[in-house]
Structure 1
Amino acid sequence: MPSFLSFDGSEISYELAGRGEPLVVLPGGPGADVGYLGDLGGLGSGRTLVLVHPRATGRSAVPEDRSTVSFVQQARDVEELRRHLGAERIDLLAHSAGCLTAQEYLAAHSARVRGAVLTAPVGRVGREPDEAELAALRAGRSGEPWYPDAAEAARRLAGGAAHGAELADLQRRILPFFWHAWTDQRHIEYRTEHASRVPWYREAFYAGSADATSLPHRLARLAATDRPVLVLAGASDGMIGTAPARAVAACLPHARLEVLRRSGHRPWVEEPERFVALVEGFLAGL
């Protein structure tokens, strides 16, 4: 598996899949194994997907300095990858929490980006769900047979007292909320090995949102970017909702928002043809 040494000497691995012009891909989680993305609904048929294993995930090294796992610092890994690939500019696609890394890279290295696709972003500078929207999305599924169990799990998670195996079980039970349609196939696709096995990963990753730089300044940096961005959201996304995607699209001056009506948090799975058409059309216009 190809790899490179990043700014602090950590080895960062990546995979190459598909054919065509390269597209750098950042997974979410945070800390999820990039394997959950598959071929992004067939996107690899026209692009070479450069599937990044973020630091402390997959086959990439776990750094000694946990602070380098923050999304702010991981944007530096993206720049090191660009240099490693010998590319003057890159096309970038990110999912969920990975969109924070992608946005930081946009803000810090706008001239090195041709265009970016942000899929189901969690927010602009951290997690920014609209709790009222999430509650409404979840309540709208109350007629589903799985709803009582998922709602109870969500209530217990909100209490914040679960840890270890109990936490993993509750997270598994709320999965139906993340999809437009919860089917046996969706259940089969859930693989525990894709989740981060590093207990401190999430806290370290989101520490970037508490960076010393002030919130207004960080938003101003995003608003100053001049690259085209496609923001995608799933209308039924009961994990993060559509509000974060709308906020991201409103913040970036050259962004376009598309809401996929029959998708949840993974639109390339539930509406692959629509997803691929939107992404390919956007990239072709760069």
Structure 2
Amino acid sequence: MPHFTSYDNAALHYRALGPEGSGLPPLVCLAGGPGRDAAYLGDLGGLAERRRLLIPDSRGTGASPTAADPSRYAFPHLAEDLEAFRAHLGLERFALLAHDAGAATAQAYAATYPDRPTRLVLISPGSHLQGELPDDAPDIFASRSHETWWPEASAAARRLAETSDMTEVRDLLPRAAPLAYGRWEAPQRAHAAAEGEQLNPVPRAGFWQGVDEPARQTLLAGLREVTCPVLVMTGGRDAVAGVRAGELVAASFADGRTHHLPEAGHYPWIDEPDRFRRAVEEFLHAP
């Protein structure tokens, strides 16, 4: 598996999917979780069929080693890993896609290096960085109470909010999983089944640490200096992040816009792969 050397000499690994020499610029893709193995991104609904996807394993996930210093798990430090990855690839500028918590890393990167991204695609982001936690995700979840999986998923979601024991978390995640998807069929079940083993609790716990209010405000100010187009994709059935969070994230950029998939959940490339792929490619190809 290929690797690159980051700013502190850590050897971090990455995967490359899709054809070389396709004539299309590569797309760097960041996983979320936080602290989740990037394998859950798969080929992003078939994006890798025509375009090269470059997917780093963040510290302590996938094939990348754990960090000797826990502060390296904080998302602004992960943004510095991304800059080292860019330099390793020899890319002056590049398109960047990020999902879930990875969108915070992508925003920190764009705020720090505003001239590097050519396009920024943020999938199902939260709005923690924006300092607001919209409450529409619980409403989306409650609106699906007529579905057969809902009673068990609801009880599991409540318990997940109360426990930090990873053994219990891994047991609860499959029960709560339907709330993250637009529907609960074979592709969704297969995708959800791997989540428990893909999470590393240490990077997960360190992701939001060490970012005080002045640092947050500095990052938000930096987002206004980002000149590249930004697409924020939301799912109408996303009971994890909701829809409003994506709207707040898009509004943080000078050229931010949203693309809404009403039937998708938190993983739109699983629920609506064709619509997801088409929306991303159209955005990447737009003048």
- Is the pair's TM-score, using the shorter chain for normalization, greater than 0.5? yes
1:101-130: CA deviations, max 9, x gaps?
A: 101111011111111100111225178542
Q: Structure 1 length as normaliser, TM-score? A: 0.93
Q: 1:53 is matched with which residue: 54, 57, 60?
A: 57
Task: State the SS of the aligned residue for 2:115.
Answer: helix
**Change in CA separation of 1:279 and 1:184 when aligned onto 2, cut-off 3 Å:** closer
8 A contact 2:187–2:270 mirrored in 1: no
For each residue in 1:6-62, what CA deviation from the matched residue of structure 2 results, as whole angstroms up to 9, or x when unmatched? 001111111111123211010111111111111111111221000111111111121
* Partner residue, 1:246: 247
Residue 10 of structure 2 corresponds to which residue in structure 1? 10
**TM-score in terms of structure 2 length:** 0.93
Q: Which amino acid aligns with 1:88?
A: E
Secondary structure at the counterpart of residue 4 of structure 2: strand
CA contact under 8 A between 1:103 and 1:124: conserved in structure 2? no
Q: Give the whole-Å Cα distance in 1 for the aligned partners of 2:232 and 2:164.
A: 33
Specify the alignment match of 2:275 in structure 1. Answer: 274
Structure-2 separation of matches of 1:123 and 1:195: 23
> Structure 1 residue 170: deviation in Å?
2.0
AA partner of residue 9 (structure 2):
G
Structure 1 residues 77, 138: CA separation in 2 closer, same or farther (over 3 Å shift)?
same
1:265: which partner in 2? 266
Q: Structure 2: state its 5+ residue gaps.
A: none
Q: Which runs of no fewer than 5 residues in structure 1 stay unpaired?
A: none
Task: Give the structure 2 partner of residue 174 of structure 1.
Answer: 176
- Secondary structure of 2:231's aligned partner: strand
- C-alpha distance in 1 between matches for 2:8 and 2:37: 22
Q: Which residue of 2 aligns with 1:203?
A: 205
Distance 2:67 2:216 in 1: 27
Q: Secondary structure at the match of 1:249?
A: helix
Separation of aligned partners in 2, 1:127 and 1:3: 34
3-state SS of the aligned residue for 1:15? strand
Alignment coverage as a number of residue pairs: 282
3-state SS, counterpart of residue 181 of structure 1: coil
SS of equivalent residue, structure 2 residue 61: coil
Aligned partner of residue 24 in structure 1, secondary structure: strand
Partners in 1 of 2:213 and 2:8 — Cα distance?
20
The match for 1:256 is 257
